[in-house]
Amino acid sequence: MLRRIIRPARRLPLWLILTVAGPFIFEVVVHQWHFSVPRPASELDAPFFTSCQEPDVSAKRENAALVMLARNNELEKANRTVTSIEQQFNRWFNYPYVFLNDEQWDPSFIEVLNKTSRGLATFDVVPRAQWTFPEGVDINAAKQNIKEQGERGIPHAGEEGYHHMCRFYSGKFYQLDVLKKYKWYWRLEPDVDFTCAITYDPFVQMARHKKVYGFTIALWEVGKSCPGLYRSIADWKEMMGIPTTSLWKATVSASWMPYPFRRFMSWLPNRDAYGDEWSLCHYWSNFEIADMDFFRTKAYQDLFDYLDKKGGFYFERWGDAAVHSLAIALLADPRKIHHFEDFGYRHALLYQCPANAPGGQLPESEILGSGTWAAEEDNGIGCRCECPGPSPRNFGSYCLNKLKQPTTAKRPRFASFL
Ligand SMILES: *[C@@H]1O[C@H](CO)[C@@H](O)[C@H](O)[C@H]1NC(C)=O
Ligand SMILES: *[C@@H]1O[C@H](CO)[C@@H](O)[C@H](O)[C@H]1NC(C)=O
């Protein structure tokens, strides 16, 4: 009986299927092709160095600061980070530190960290006005919403302070009095290890190579933390007529749904008005070496003000990592982004750590001194690295490859463990 009912639906002739579906298939293929990013013919973002250097301690420094936002109860973790960067880098280069807190500093924090940081250390408090809800936000509604985000299990989204922090790092921190005098910053976070020696001045190299933004780890954003962010930025791009960079294309996972149905997908999270999706790949902003003048441009500040008015820093949990990454993809020349793939960096559970460069460890160097480090390996680019895992992590990730594609010819040799 059942067979009878099904049987009469005879197979449709192939020509009919192709005639109806063909244009849709063709359209989807063209659509995918539109978002593909061809590999450049040559390496556009090589590491600045691929072995240890004799630190050039007499070279002119850039106008730069090491910046850390910390809380009083993060004393040990902050001390760990500073101990690490002093040992691996700053004992040769002596850059100043700026410590930021949203509350008054404990004298004990200042005492310990001032001693651990051999460079000049400044301890500053973020002005209240930059660590609160912006004008025009219904504070009670925002607080209620933050509570609900927490209950939905979105990481950190239930903490009001975390929202203020994301907003602060997205838009206002470059304008603090204490940072105004600097052009470059290296963002530090409590609980970080630098696991290779950094024997050259990354600020000088960034300036020399005309870079504006440097990163170590790229990974996926938690999509439900910021479902409306990508749409907002993509809408802004369109409103302002900002041309599409290859890096912007690389952030898109083009939809396989044919036109015009694709447009209905725009209602889903992390999509633009045309139904294409953000890949969620972004630079992990707890490490950044960047030119603050990029963030101080009118183009960036206008974008931030627009995002701020959208309310997503509170009614969703827009992270500064995602905001910075999408803004970079939107507004920066992709050649101005640098992957510090020669740096060993660990924060929380994630790390990137290269293998050591063959013959590149300068064991006799007086200024570097003696020490221990992991074995050298073919294709290694690290300097005196000691990785926290059992072996150096030498495999790339889709997410990183996607973001590196516009700037690199080769597959990245080292990546985070994601
Ligand atoms: C801070 O780090 C230094 C090493 O750089 C160490 O001697 C000191 O005991 C640490 N202090 C605290 C409170 O962790
Ligand atoms: C840090 O220590 C130096 C010298 O040890 C001292 O002159 C300076 O005032 C201290 N800074 C702070 C902020 O306490």
- Residue-wise pLDDT tens digits, 82-134: 999 999 999 999 999 999 999 999 999 999 999 999 889 999 999 998 999 99
Cβ–Cβ < 8 Å for 390, 372: no
Whether the bond into 392 is cis, omega within 30 of 0: no
Q: Is the pLDDT of residue 261 over 50?
A: yes
Q: Is the pLDDT of residue 200 over 50?
A: yes
CA dihedral 188, 191, 194, 195 (to 10 degrees): -170
**Residue 114 CA, ligand 2 centroid: distance in Å:** 6
Q: For 64-404, which CATH class?
A: alpha beta
Catalytic, 288? Answer yes
Instruction: Judge residue 114's burial from the number of C-beta atoms within 10 Å of its C-beta, 0-12 exposed, 13-18 middle, 19 or more buried.
Output: middle
**Which residues does ligand 1 sit against, CB inside 6 Å?**
75-76, 79, 83, 112, 116
| pLDDT, tens only, 360-407 | 999 999 999 999 999 999 989 999 999 876 544 544 566 777 777 676
| pLDDT, tens only, 24-82 | 999 999 999 998 887 777 778 899 999 999 999 999 999 999 999 999 999 999 999 99
- Supply 115's token pair: 């001693």
**Residue 412's pLDDT is what?**
40
- Supply 77's token pair: 């973790």
**Residue 411's pLDDT is what?**
41
- Supply 34's token pair: 């539109």
Q: Which of 62, 221, 277, 288 is catalytic?
A: 288
Q: Is 124 helix (H, G, I), strand (E, B) or coil?
A: strand
Q: Counting ligands in written order, which one lies closest to the CA of residue 190?
A: 1
| pLDDT, tens only, 289-339 | 999 999 999 999 999 999 999 999 999 999 999 999 999 999 999 999 999
**Residue 334 CA, ligand 2 centroid: distance in Å:** 41
- Supply 314's token pair: 């509170």
Q: Using CA atoms, how far apart are residues 202 and 215, in angstroms rounded to an integer?
A: 11
**Which residues does ligand 2 sit against, CB inside 6 Å?**
110, 114, 123
CA of 79, closest atom in ligand 1: 1
Beta strand pairing call for 121-125 and 97-101: parallel
Beta strand pairing call for 288-291 and 184-188: antiparallel
Q: Using CA atoms, how far apart are residues 1 and 188, in angstroms rounded to an integer?
A: 71
Out of 105, 106, 112, 114, give the residue to mutate to test ligand 2, the one with the largest number of ligand atoms within 8 Å of its CB. Answer: 114
Pick the residue whose CA is nearest to atom 2 on ligand 2.
114
Q: Is 100 helix (H, G, I), strand (E, B) or coil?
A: strand
What does DSSP assign to residue 78? H
Beta strand pairing call for 252-253 and 277-278: antiparallel
Q: How many residues make up the chain in this entry?
A: 418
Lowest mean pLDDT among 21-25, 40-44, 173-177: 40-44
Cβ–Cβ < 8 Å for 137, 310: no
Cβ–Cβ < 8 Å for 303, 200: no
Composition of the chain by helix, strand, coil, percent to 5: 40, 15, 45
| Average pLDDT estimate for 222-235 | 95
Q: Counting ligands in written order, which one lies closest to the CA of residue 85?
A: 1
Of the pLDDT bands very low, low, confident and very high (cuts 50, 70, 90), residue 349 is confident
Cα atoms found within 13 Å of the Cα of residue 238, Cβ hemisphere only: 9
Pick the residue whose CA is nearest to atom 7 on ligand 1.
116
CA angle, 359 then 361 then 362, to 5°: 100
**Residue 339's pLDDT is what?**
93
Q: 108 CB contacts (<8 Å, ≥6 apart)?
A: 75
Cβ–Cβ < 8 Å for 203, 182: no
What does DSSP assign to residue 105? P
Pick the residue whose CA is nearest to atom 2 on ligand 1.
79
